[in-house]
Structure 1
Amino acid sequence: MTACWMAALYACCFIGITSAQEQGQAKPQEELMEMSVVVVNPSKTKTQTVPIKMYLPREVTPDAILNPDGLDIEFDSDNSMYYVYKDEVLLKPAETRVFDVEIRDVWNIAQERMDAMADQTRSLVERLKGSDFYEPAKVLEEAIVKSLNTITVTQNDETVSRRSHIGIYRSNLKIIDQVKEDISRLEKQLEIVIASPKPEVLEQSQLKTDSPAKNTTWMIIFIIMLFIGMLGGVFFFTWQTQAHATKNLISEARESAFPAGEHSDAGKE
């Protein structure tokens, strides 16, 4: 039992990460990384059976595992990480076994993505030209381009170890998040500029509110007076018509109430 536990400890202690270049091989088109698990049986007389379990970096998914070297792959939902394992590994006395898990290098930010972000930044700043936001936007553009260049340099640095390469990738993701926030700020500034009235429109509006010419003023006065005169004439003729109609209506009502025959009979009596 003690020997098995020691073997398991050996398995945990000899986990390494290497690349093709670190092993002296030519750099492939697709960068590969190897995570090695070394299992040692410390007993020189007994055959031992030990389990193996090695967690993979959180960025690694089954699609990125090119060769598990005979180990099984499983997902740990509690830790949200994949791991490779073997329930039983048979080791002869003093035997050492090495499992090399080949993984595609997923710790790189695509250059196309960064180029697109740089192009988007330049386009936004260009559209802000002539506004109050332009000068601050130029400063922000320089900071964004510098950050993207830093990512390109650091993630392609072949002098760092594979472990450092993974750490650099995680730091670069934070830089990408900051760049995205900066681009979003530029987009909001552009929305403000688009929503604001342009100087030409303001000038045209000011011209339209200027006082009219003298001839135009007299013409407007003449039209108003003519309109008032016509309106007065309409009112006068309407009043005359209504007065005449009212007079006729009263006469008809009187004749209807007191016919001519009744007036003469009343006089005789």
Structure 2
Amino acid sequence: MRKILNKGIALFFLASLLFIFAPDADAGIVLKVLTVNPSTEETQEVPVKVYLPKEAKPEDIIEKGDLKVAYDAQQGSYYAYGEYKLKPKEVLEHTIELRDIWVVSAAEMQSLRLEAEKINKLLKNTEFAERIKFMYHTMMTKLNEIDQRQKVSKANPEEHISEYRYNLKLLESVKVDLAVARSMLSKAKAVSASVVWKLIFFILIFLAVLGTTFYFLWYRQAKLFAGGGPSAEKKKPAEAREHREHEAKGDEKEADEGDIERILRGE
């Protein structure tokens, strides 16, 4: 009975594992797991089982000692485990080093900033100008908040991971805003395209009218030249007048000759 009680106490201590956050430029996050055998008389087999944060994967583990790693489908996370024989009151310390993946990438935030700035400029002179101005300010505020929060060191891994999850929500919110901004940009482009097509349509109408006008002018000129041209039309009255004058002179000449003949005949 006493052995069972001691084992229960040992498991209680196991459930109250101590996590120590040790920030390190190379190691990232260090989890220190302390396992205690509370018995003052008996040596006991004490199982160790510690769940890793849900974001952590086996490839993120830098150091785990002789602990093994498995996946718990119900919990949806990996855990490190082992079993050790501890002497009475013995304390066993395990160190698990994890790569610090609980940081929003500066490159990703910069990429989002640049895209937001680009869309803001493209929509500046459109019907979405006021809306994108507000959205751009909101997105920049969220990204700056993430940046400021990540600059503050946290005392333990729980706070560090909790802060990351909050920042991740802000980041997802920025991505949603960007998706809306992209849809606005596509609509603005569609409006511009319709204006361009209208302009092309009016240009085609203008060219058609201009072409028709030139055609009628050409047809008229061709008709005039086919009939001798404008100069020929002007010459016809002059030629007729000269012909009449020539005939009149001929008549006068004939009359004069007739008078001379009558005089010679003594009439």
Matched, 1:147 2:150: no
Matched, 1:35 2:46: no
Post-superposition offset of 1:95: 0.8
Distance in 1, Cα, partners of 2:153 & 2:91 = 31
- Structure 1: segments with no counterpart, 5+ residues: 21-26, 227-269
Post-superposition offset of 1:69: 2.2
**1:17·1:33 contact (CA, 8 Å) conserved in 2?**
no
**1:8·1:39 contact (CA, 8 Å) conserved in 2?**
no
Distance in 2, Cα, partners of 1:79 & 1:15 = 20
Query: What corresponds to 1:134 in structure 2?
Result: 129
Distance in 2, Cα, partners of 1:95 & 1:160 = 28
**2:51·2:78 contact (CA, 8 Å) conserved in 1?**
yes
Distance in 1, Cα, partners of 2:102 & 2:154 = 15
Residue of 53, 63, 80 corresponding to 2:76: 80
Distance in 2, Cα, partners of 1:56 & 1:171 = 19
**Which has the larger displacement, 175-184 or 158-167?**
158-167
Question: How many residues are matched?
Answer: 215
Residue of 114, 120, 131 corresponding to 2:115: 120
Matches within 5 A, 1:49-68: 49-68=45-64
Partner of 1:15: helix, strand, or coil? coil
Post-superposition offset of 1:73: 0.6
C-alpha spacing 1:203/1:117, structure 2 compared with 1 (3 Å): same
Post-superposition offset of 1:83: 0.2
Partner of 1:38: helix, strand, or coil? strand
Matched, 1:106 2:108: no
Distance in 1, Cα, partners of 2:20 & 2:52 = 11
TM-score when scaled to structure 1?
Answer: 0.71
Partner of 2:56: helix, strand, or coil? coil
Give the letter aligned to residue 144 of structure 1: M
**1:32·1:105 contact (CA, 8 Å) conserved in 2?**
yes
Give the letter aligned to residue 216 of structure 2: M
**1:71·1:84 contact (CA, 8 Å) conserved in 2?**
yes
Structure (1 or 2) with the greater helix fraction: 2
Post-superposition offset of 1:14: 2.4
Post-superposition offset of 1:129: 2.8
TM-score when scaled to structure 2?
Answer: 0.72
**Structure of greater Rg:** 2
Query: What corresponds to 1:219 in structure 2?
Result: 216
Matches within 5 A, 1:129-208: 129-196=124-191, 197=193, 199=195, 202=198, 205-206=201-202
- Structure 2: segments with no counterpart, 5+ residues: 224-267
Give the letter aligned to residue 8 of structure 2: W
Q: 1:9-59 CA distances to partner (integer Å, 9 max, x unpaired)?
A: 112212313123xxxxxx42x352122221111122211111111111101
**Which has the larger displacement, 203-212 or 191-200?**
203-212
Post-superposition offset of 1:99: 0.9
